Amino acid sequence: MFTGIVTDVGRVAAVTPRNDVRRLVVDSRYDPAGIAIGASIACSGVCLTVVAVEPHDGGARFAVDAAPETLALTTAAGWTAGTRLNLERALRMGDELGGHLVSGHVDGLAEIVGRDVIGETTRFDVRAPKPLARFVAEKGSVCLDGTSLTVNTVDRDVFSVLLIPHTLAVTTWGERGVGDRINLEIDLMARYVARLAEAGAGGA
């Protein structure tokens, strides 16, 4: 599990096809001694398993494998050498839950359809895939490219989020613009509430 609080911005160093799997090598500022083989790291919202790690340039260079389903459902298929990724280590018992509970299992790809500066914040308008739009609610939580954000407004399948300058500076959001596709994970609680409502309506 994760919280959607980005703790580093990594950079893809290499991408190597391995049959139907794609191996991604990522440079980070993490301490390599603290990363075990088999550990989970959220890469722009995608939970991936570390298969190799070594010290590199004062930080850690780690490798993960992206399976066919991951490549089909997330932005990972478009990652190339030089792509910057929002990174988060897996939540440990006792850690502060600063965002909201995030599984790292991306539900679908959303698209940025608007970006506007409003005072001290930047507003992003995001179009969710229609099957997922019903799970997005005003003042609810969403995870976009691994970042826990609060929904500001909702208009059918388009919702908005407001980002402060700090978030733009310490994540990849400063680079995002209209037309970009981003990884969307809906709030776990919204999913369960909707399922309970469906079960109740069906008499289950």
- With b meaning 16 or more CB within 10 Å and e meaning fewer, what string describes 126-147? bbbeeebbebbeeebbbbbbbb
The catalytically annotated residue of 14, 52, 72, 150 is 150
The answer, yes or no, to whether residue 138 has pLDDT greater than 60, is yes
Give the integer Cα–Cα distance in Å for 4 and 190: 16
Q: Which ranges constitute the DSSP H helices of the chain?
A: 68-73, 130-133, 165-170, 188-201
Q: How far is CA 22 from the centre of its chain?
A: 18
The pLDDT of residue 84 is above 60: yes
Catalytic residue among 7, 13, 39, 40: 40
- 40 flagged as catalytic: yes
Q: Annotated catalytic residue: which of 49, 77, 197, 199?
A: 49
Cα-based torsion angle of the residue sequence 145, 146, 148, 151 in order, rounded to the nearest 10 degrees: 20
2 is catalytic: yes
The predicted structure's pLDDT at residue 189: 74
Q: Which domains does the chain carry? A: 8-89 (2.40.30.20), 108-199 (2.40.30.20)
Contact predicate 87/46, CB 8 Å: no
| Residue of 47, 60, 63, 76 with catalytic role | 47
The pLDDT, as a whole number, for residue 203 is 55
Tokens linked to 108 = 């679908």
105: three-class secondary structure by DSSP: coil
Is 7 within 8 Å of 95 (Cβ atoms)?
A: no
Range 82-90 average pLDDT: 97
* pLDDT for the residue numbered 173: 98
Q: What is the mean pLDDT of residues 170-179?
A: 98
Where does the pLDDT of residue 202 fall: very low under 50, low under 70, confident under 90, or very high at 90 and above?
low
Q: CA Rg, the chain, in Å?
A: 17
Question: Catalytic residue at 105?
Answer: yes
Question: What distance in Å separates the CA atoms of residue 33 and residue 79, rounded to the nearest whole number?
Answer: 26
3-state helix, strand, coil in the chain (%, to 5): 20, 45, 35
Of 7, 90, 103, 105, which residue is the catalytic one? 105
**Per-residue confidence (pLDDT) for residue 92, from 0 to 100:** 72
Three-state DSSP at 18 gives strand
- Other beta carbons within 10 angstroms of residue 53's beta carbon come to 22
Query: In angstroms, what CA-CA distances link 155 with 111, 159, 177, 179?
Result: 14, 6, 20, 18
Q: Is 67 annotated in the active site? A: yes
pTM of the model: 0.91
Per-residue pLDDT, 198:
64
Residues 2-55 have pLDDT tens digits of 999 999 999 999 999 989 999 999 999 999 999 999 999 999 999 999 999 999
Q: Which residue out of 14, 52, 67, 81 is catalytically annotated?
A: 67
Burial 176-188 (b: 16+ CB within 10 A, else e): beeebbbbbbbbb
- Select the more confidently predicted residue: 196 or 113: 113
